[in-house]
Amino acid sequence: MLNGRRRIGVELLGQFSRRRLGRMYVFREGHPLSIETLTYKAPDCSCGVVVVRSLTQGTTYVDLRVRNSFIRDGPRYECRREFSRITHYGRVIYSSDCSQNLRNTLV
């Protein structure tokens, strides 16, 4: 993960729900952090819309996540549409050079 131009490593554990398809519980050092629910996945798996409920801050937000190999082209129309349907506000937090920026921090 990048914070500005600084790379930050955080070890997380994801445990998929046995009862609810598309739901994952996220832990850090054994403590629950969030519940993530996949609400939409593009047919080609290039992107998805994930509702994230923070268990530490009591907030909920929506992510439009793009698979690394599709970042250059950006999210598919269907993912953008679903994201807009769920949340009427949002901001772009990635760019086509995300992968390169991450690689540059390893040098």
- The model's pLDDT over 34-71, given as tens digits with 9 standing for 90+, comes to 999 999 999 999 999 999 999 999 999 999 998 888 87
Place 27 in a pLDDT band, splitting at 50, 70 and 90.
very high
Residue 10 lies in a domain: yes
Tokens of 18: 């046995």
Judge whether 12 lies within some domain.
Answer: yes
Tell whether 99 is covered by a domain: no
Q: What is the tally of structural domains in the chain?
A: 1
Q: What gap in Å lies between CA 68 and CA 52, rounded to an integer?
A: 20
Whether 107 is in a domain gets the answer no
> What is the span of the domain harbouring residue 59?
2-89
Token pair for 42? 């593009």
Give the integer Cα–Cα distance in Å for 48 and 40: 5
Strand-pair partners of 27: 13, 32
Output the pTM of the full model.
0.80
Alpha-carbon distance of 54 to 70, in angstroms, equals 27
Q: Which two tokens stand for residue 105?
A: 């921090």
Q: Which two tokens stand for residue 8?
A: 């930050």
